[in-house]
Each structure stands twice: as structure tokens, then as C-alpha cells.
Chains A and B, each alone.
Chain A
Amino acid sequence: EVQLLESGGGLVQPGGSLRLSCAVSGFTFTIYPMSWVRQAPGKGLEWVSTVSDSGVSTYYADSVKGRFTISRDNSKNTLYLQMNSLRAEDTAVYYCAKCGPEIDYYFDYWGQGTLVTVSS
């Protein structure tokens, strides 16, 4: 059974940092790209970032470029999102999502999400 379990969310002040983790199981982590997608309270879905299967290639939404860093540890089956210089508009549930096979960037499995609240 495919499982994705996010952790690391919480309350942080504007300008602060957080690191999200996503521990996965039930599939061969090393051969799939992985992504983060967020959803602000009561709003729609927003793609944040994607990392290739090897971790070499990364892609970001303009809204987070230069502030967020996606990475993965294939030896630990874990995906990360380092979030710096956080802003109020980054407040959202952050979902870890598995991408389709090869370079098919639809999202076929999702975690339950972790809430990040940026507020003073």
C-alpha cells in the first residue's frame, strides 16, 4: 500500500523557516519524481515544487522560487521542503504527492497534508 506521511508543519512567524518532510512507503521511491502542492484555507490547489527521481532536477513556482528548496534522500525514502523567509501568504496545507511514471507530472498519490501557519 502506497503511503505518504508529511510532518514538520506548525506555526511560524513571518520571516521564519520550517522544513517539511514526507516519508514514503509502498513503492520504489527512487524511480519517481515527487512534488509538493499546497492549499490555502478555503482555496484551490497550487503546485509548489517538483524534484526529479535522482534529485538532480528541481522546479519551482515563481511564488516560492529563491525561498523554498525541494530535496530528497533516496536512501531514506524521504522528500523534503525547506521553507525560508516565510510570508503570511504561504499559510496553507502542504501536500506531498507522488508523480506518475517517467516524466508524467500528474499526481497519483497524495499524503494527508501538514498545515503551515505563518503569523505573528
Chain B
Amino acid sequence: DIVMTQSPDSLAVSLGERATINCKSSQSVLYISNNKNYLAWYQQKPGQPPNLLIYWASTRESGVPDRFSGSGSGTDFTLTISSLQAEDVAVYYCQQYYSTPFTFGPGTKVDIK
């Protein structure tokens, strides 16, 4: 199984400042034949289902604000919120879909400082 880890567990950022979340997979999720990283990011607000933000490690889902961006390849990935807004308070999860079982990271809680 591919184990996903995230850091930090939580972070508090001032409004308008940058938030950076890291995700690491225990083995590469880059499929060589198509050069795609099978890595997605989700946002989950309290009492709500998760919401897809990013797939293929860096492709923003339709309707997601451009302050959210994803980067990385192989085993190391980053979700960046360039200018934190109040509505971005949530837990963020990474997920690999390279192979079953599809696995999620433990989540990173983002709060306002």
C-alpha cells in the first residue's frame, strides 16, 4: 500500500499570507508512460463533504480560486494557498490514485492566526 503523510498537522496563517502544505507518498505516484502524477488535493470544511481542489498534482478543478495551486512530482507534493482568506479555514487532504487501495493523507488543519 502507498502510505501518504502530510506536514504540518496544523498551521495558523494571517489573512492574506501564504499557506503551504506538504504531502509525501511512500512510493512514486508518477506514471512514466503518460508523465502524470496521480495525486489529488481536497478541502473539507466542518460538517461538509470534501471538495476537490487539485488533480494530476497541479491541475486546478473548475471553479477553484486561483490562489490554490499544486506542485511536485514523484513522491513530494505541495499545496499552496497564496493569500489566505477566511473561507479557506478547513482541513486539507492529499490522495493518491496511482494504485489501490487509494489512500489519503491524515489531513492538515488550516486556521487563521
Contact = CB atoms under 8 A, between A and B. Distances in A.
Q: Do A and B come from one complex?
A: yes
Interface of A: 35, 37, 44-47, 50, 59, 61-62, 95, 100, 104-113
Interface residues of B, number: 21
24 contacts: A37-B50, A45-B50, A45-B93, A45-B104, A45-B107, A47-B95, A47-B101, A47-B103, A47-B104, A50-B100, A59-B100, A95-B49, A104-B55, A106-B40, A106-B52, A106-B55, A106-B95, A107-B40, A107-B42, A107-B52, A108-B52, A108-B61, A112-B49, A113-B49
B52 A61 contact: no
Contacts of A62: 101
A105 B97 contact: yes
Nearest to B105: A44
Nearest to B100: A59
Contacts of B27: none
Interface string B80-113: 0000000000000101010011111111000000
A47 B102 contact: yes
Interface of B: 38, 40, 42, 44, 49-52, 55, 61, 93, 95, 97, 100-107
Contacts, number: 54
B50 to A, nearest CB: 6
A111 B106 CA distance: 21
Contacts of A61: 101
Contact of B51 (A105, A110, A112): A110
A113 B50 CA distance: 10
A111 B52 contact: no
A44 B100 CA distance: 18
Given A62-B101, A100-B55, A44 B106 contact: yes
